[in-house]
Amino acid sequence: MSYNDVTHHAADDQDHDHDHAEHGPAPGLMRWVTTTNHKDIGTLYLWFSLIMFFIGGAMALVIRAELFQPGIQIVDPMFFNSMTTMHAIVMIFGVVMPAFVGLANWMIPMMIGAPDMALPRLNNWSFWIMPFAFTIMLATLFMDSGGPAGGWTLYPPLVLQMGDSFAFVIFAIHFLGISSVMGSINIVATIFNMRPPGMTFMKMPMFVWTWLITAYLLIATIPVFAGAVTMLLTDRFFGTSFFSAAGGGDPVMFQHIFWFFGHPEVYILILPAFGIVSSIIPTFARKPLFGYDSMVYATASIAFLSFIVWAHHMFTTGMPLAGELFFMFSTMMISVPTGVKVFNWVATMWRGSMTFETPMLFAIGFVIMFTVGGLSGLMLAITPADIQYHDTYFVVAHFHYVLVPGAIYSLMAATYYWMPKWTGNMYDEKLGKMHFWISTIFVNVLFFPMHFVGLAGMPRRIPDYSLQFADWNMIATIGAFGFGFSQLMFVYIIFKCVRGGDKATSEVWEGARGLEWTVASPAPYHTFETAPVIEPATVTR
């Protein structure tokens, strides 16, 4: 039985003929404000994160322009600091997270054969908090005191010395947290409760699995973050002493609470990416995913381990030796399930009939360059070595390798992979490939030199640096502008694809597997209103 042999209950279809008239989207702008449709909301999330990608990217370019040459060149140090802070906040909470939620909205119901998300009104609210929360967050840049400038990690006591923007940043984080928790509860409820009969857990595509586990990370850690920033707020305005040694508290305590959230957070930013890559590589290798079961267990193991490694961000703060050792070994352990994943992707490609369309290029780019970031992460896990690397550009190189050619590449891969399903049109393959190659060259020109200046001792988050770092910084800045401006190509390709292009078939890709490829392209406004029949032999992933 072929996988697109999904049949419907004929009787159910007849039952629903009468209300087909009101099944299209409502007209006008209010459609987008009041929509409860998972595809509409997914689209809103994706556009939002694309816009934020350019706002956060512009901030990164301010940073790199300042670092083009040593000395204070363009911006004053305070503004530089608020750029590093806001760049991180925007990219994490405004780009990568909402983009993954947008993909979850679009794809999870179609992948598992559900009519919509479990709680459609809540889904609408999860999105419509985002623009309001980021209005507060970005408004701080225009306040007299300037934006937040203590780094996105908000360490006290520095962050408590901020001006007026402090309270706004804290509340914007609370606001965004409400959205994240509601969004992830919705995803959990959808995956548990909206699967049709026959769609067992082990028949779900990897993207659904990774999102299920990510949603749990969010539900478990975002409230902890909310608690941490609440303590900051009361320390600043209500006279508590959580983070003040004078009152019996401890500034390092904030770092523990923060990173208890912060470390799972970095897996929130990468697990859905693993899911995307696990969907794309089998399609273009024309082979099923190698070691599906082990992929599921590896994802769960990474999620579990992410809760017991947080203090590897704090090796230099002064911890008992037992703590340093525990967090070193637990961190290194993460490379085992991550290695399982990387080898499974490689084994999926092994002896496959490979073709290299744009999504596949980005997916392979992901596997290679994410691994570069993973290996430098292993170096950072070694406590005695980390004491040297801590707060240098080596750390910046490490997490940008896992986040830019990692998470961001997975988002680009996902966009090219599913855009024909969303729009009904094929994107421009030639431009897509050009976008990949130009991006890949520049992203390495941008981030690879940071390893060198970092190992040589250049500290992060400082607008000036000593002369011996000048050459590599100049090269990194050239890479940054190249990478930044080549993303305009991405926007052009998206617009071109939305407006027209070769018509896509429902299957879109020759080797595509899964329920989302059984519905028409573009996907109708409502899909799987009657549950598809899933036989044991139906291919769903």
Partner 1 sequence: MSSATSGYYVPHAARWPIVGSIGLFIFFYGFATWLNQGPFGKEMFFIGVAIVVFMMFGWFGLVAKESESGTYSSQVDTSFRLCMMWFIFSEVMFFAAFFGALYYARIFSGPWLGGVGGGGAEMTNAVLYQGHDYVWPSNGPEDIGGKFQQMGWFGLPLINTLLLLTSGLTCTFAHHAIRVGKRTPFILWLFATVALGFLFVGLQAYEYYHAYNDLNLKLTSGIYGSTFFLLTGFHGFHVTMGAIILLVVMLRATRKHFSADNHFAFEAAAWYWHFVDVVWLGLFIFVYLL
Site for partner 1 in 294-353 (CB under 8 A): 318-321, 323-324
Confirm or reject binding of residue 430 to partner 1 (CB under 8 A): no
The DSSP line for 441-505 is: HHHHHHHHHHHHHHHTTPBSS-S---GGGHHHHHHHHHHHHHHHHHHHHHHHHHHHHHH--SBPP
Give how many residues touch partner 1 by CB under 8 A: 84
CB of 469 to partner 1, least distance (A): 29
Measured CA to CA, the distance from residue 471 to residue 347 in angstroms comes to 40
Q: Which stretch binds partner 1 (CB under 8 A): 72-80, 223-231, 280-288, 415-423?
A: 223-231
Our CB check for partner 1 shows the closer of 30 and 467 to be: 30
Residues within window 123-142 making contact with partner 1, judged by CB under 8 A = 124-125, 128-129, 132-133, 135-136
| Residue 90: half-sphere exposure toward Cβ, Cα within 13 Å | 28
Bridge partners of 392? 459
Residue 229, token pair as written in the block: 């920033």
Our CB check for partner 1 shows the closer of 257 and 515 to be: 257
Label residues 281-299 b or e (16+ Cβ within 10 Å = b): bbbbbebebbbbeebbebb
Could you identify the residue written with the tokens 């170096």?
Answer: 379
Residue 495, token pair as written in the block: 């617009």
Residues within window 232-291 making contact with partner 1, judged by CB under 8 A = 234-235, 237-242, 244-250, 252-253, 256-257, 260
Our CB check for partner 1 shows the closer of 68 and 128 to be: 128
The DSSP line for 406-440 is: IIIHHHHHHHHHHHHHHHSB---HHHHHHHHHHHH
CB of 21 to partner 1, least distance (A): 10
Our CB check for partner 1 shows the closer of 356 and 525 to be: 525
Residues within window 27-66 making contact with partner 1, judged by CB under 8 A = 30, 33-36
Our CB check for partner 1 shows the closer of 325 and 491 to be: 325
x/- map, 86-125, partner 1, by CB under 8 A: -----------------------------xx-xxxxx-xx
Q: Which of 4, 26, 70, 444 binds partner 1 (CB under 8 A)?
A: 26
Our CB check for partner 1 shows the closer of 232 and 289 to be: 232
CB of 44 to partner 1, least distance (A): 12
Confirm or reject binding of residue 531 to partner 1 (CB under 8 A): yes
DSSP 518: T
Measured CA to CA, the distance from residue 323 to residue 383 in angstroms comes to 10
Measured CA to CA, the distance from residue 45 to residue 77 in angstroms comes to 33
Measured CA to CA, the distance from residue 35 to residue 130 in angstroms comes to 15
CB of 263 to partner 1, least distance (A): 14
Residues assigned a catalytic role: 87, 116, 152, 179-180, 263, 265, 267, 278, 312-313, 338, 341, 460
Residue 32 φ then ψ, to 5°? -80, -30
Measured CA to CA, the distance from residue 387 to residue 391 in angstroms comes to 9
**Nearest residue to 533 (alpha-carbon basis) of 112, 196, 111:** 196
Our CB check for partner 1 shows the closer of 163 and 511 to be: 163
Residues in CB range of 495: below 8 A, 6 or more apart: none
CB of 11 to partner 1, least distance (A): 11
**How open is the CA angle 524-362-376, to the nearest 5 degrees?**
135
Per the CB < 8 A criterion, the answer to whether 211 and 187 are in contact is yes
CB of 71 to partner 1, least distance (A): 35
x/- map, 163-202, partner 1, by CB under 8 A: -x--xx-xxx-xx--x--x---xx-xx--xxx--------
Our CB check for partner 1 shows the closer of 323 and 459 to be: 323
Q: Which stretch binds partner 1 (CB under 8 A): 48-56, 149-157, 215-223, 287-295?
A: 215-223
Bridge partners of 459? 392
Compute how many other C-beta atoms are within 10 angstroms of the C-beta atom of residue 76: 11
- Alpha helices by DSSP H, listed for 271-408, are 271-285, 292-305, 321-333, 335-349, 358-381, 383-389, 393-402
Q: Which stretch binds partner 1 (CB under 8 A): 14-22, 67-75, 278-286, 393-401?
A: 14-22
Confirm or reject binding of residue 7 to partner 1 (CB under 8 A): no
Confirm or reject binding of residue 17 to partner 1 (CB under 8 A): no
CB of 253 to partner 1, least distance (A): 5
